[in-house]
Amino acid sequence: PGNWDIPTFLFSYTMIGVCPVLFVFWKVYQRTEWRKLENIDFFDKDRALIDQYEEECIDEHPDPTIARRFWNLLCS
């Protein structure tokens, strides 16, 4: 705080513009495919495993105490 220098400032803020330019250059130069976000499957292969894990991790709590129900009523 209060101790900054011009080269660090310029490098940091220049990279905000340089990184997108390098990305577009790489996509054009390598002729890689531009994909829509909707068409990318991030974890479809692992979806069944994730669903199984989530089902096993669901805690089955008994009915909450009166104090807990009151607290939930206040917080909702």
pLDDT tens digits for range 5-55? 899 889 889 999 999 999 999 999 999 999 998 888 878 778 888 888 888
Give me the number of domains the chain comprises: 1
Residue numbers of the domain that contains 14: 6-75
CA atoms in the 13 A half-sphere facing the CB of 47: 5
Examine residue 1 and state whether it is found in any structural domain, yes or no: no
Q: Which pLDDT belongs to residue 18?
A: 94
Judged on CB neighbours under 10 Å (0-12, 13-18, 19+), 50 is exposed
Q: What is the pTM of this model?
A: 0.46
For 6, the token pair is 């011009």
Residue 32 pLDDT: 92
Provide CB contacts within 8 A for 64, sequence distance 6+.
72
Backbone torsions φ then ψ of 41, nearest 5 degrees: -95, 105
